[in-house]
Structure 1
Amino acid sequence: MADHLPLTARMRRLLRELAKFGTVGAFGFLVNVAVFNLCIHSFGLAPVRSGVVSTAVAVATNYVGNRYWTYLHAEKSRVKREATLFLLFNGVGMVIENGVLALSHYGLDFTSPLADNVAKYGVGMGLATVFRFWSYRTWVFRGRASAGELGEADDLPAEEQRKHRRVLL
């Protein structure tokens, strides 16, 4: 559907989507860091176990943010499918994120709190974030046009706006 838009309009739409995804992700990051360090320092859990718990809590907050803000206009008739795919792809993201932590902590013996945080958040989360963004926009939140796509038609001449809105809706 969006392929009918000029390249500049598609790029603006992608940048808006990335900004929203990034904002939701930043909030999820704060939740993840807080829960991770709480699990390690207050509850005495092992680093990877703490990582799994913190990632699970962050995934729940990110689903709400992405579902109801970033991808607000995605198809809503298939929410069960969407939630299942979201959890599946986040499971893969969790393995990426905490796999890097496990490799660093247990495989390379970098066991300081700084090393654990760098492995989990600097490397693991970075790789997992790229994977999640791709999977969300490709598989999870598909369907109807986004609000950004609907707004992009405003940059086109009047006749093109009418054609564009008919295609998207």
Structure 2
Amino acid sequence: MNTLIVYASKHGATERAAKKLSEKLSGNVDCFNLKKNIPESLDGYERVVLGTSVYAGKLHKEFVDFIEINEHKLKEKEYAFFVCCGFEEKAETYLRENISDEVVDKALFVRYFGQEIVWRNMKFYERAALKMVAKVKDDIHDIRERDIEEAADVLNAF
């Protein structure tokens, strides 16, 4: 089975989660960071996994645009979402606030894959916002290996 993983990653946490997932999936797996390149087509893929990080409640523009452009093709595939963000309980809400409920509802699953904050990789305004809103002051390394493995098990069952 051929799987396409497309994701949008700013500081690398979502990219690391996507790569970890790709290593656990059966069959051929291609990964694309939508911030760097976009797959030419969804043709040839039976499964599509879409991942994004969230900043201030917003998904990456490239991620949202990709879904809007390919919505009709996604409906012909088995597809799923994963989200990396600071608030696990809001992961699905962030998707629903940025893309259509219909697209989210037809997904095999929406999974939370954790978060990662590395202060030295962030701009001043990003650090200031995190300190104020999330009260975060230290690095956080919380990519959820178990959740990634469970997602892979679901996808490999198809």
State the TM-score, normalized to the length of structure 1: 0.26
**Structure index of larger Rg:** 1
Higher relative helix content: 1
Q: Which has the higher contact order (CA 8 A, sep 6+)?
A: 1
State the TM-score, normalized to the length of structure 2: 0.27
